[in-house]
């Protein structure tokens, strides 16, 4: 259990990968940008 363990969060951070224990952050800005551009077109 440490940096070499691929199944732990610390190991995924060290390895630079994602998974169940280290999910990717969802971007909130994409939703706001699409709604503003649609409003301008109308």
d(CA 38, CA 31): 11
**Torsions phi, psi for 31 (to 5 deg):** -65, -40
More confident residue, 30 or 8: 8
Q: What is the pTM of this model?
A: 0.48
**Torsions phi, psi for 25 (to 5 deg):** -75, 140
pLDDT confidence of residue 35:
55
Tokens at 38, concatenated: 């649609």
Average pLDDT over the chain, rounded to an integer: 76
Q: 10: exposed, middle or buried (C-beta count within 10 Å: 0-12, 13-18, 19+)? A: middle
């Amino acid at each position: 259990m440490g940096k070499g363990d691929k199944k732990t969060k610390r190991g995924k951070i060290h390895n630079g990968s994602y998974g169940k224990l280290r999910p990717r952050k969802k971007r909130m800005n994409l939703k706001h940008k699409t709604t503003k551009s649609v409003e301008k077109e109308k």
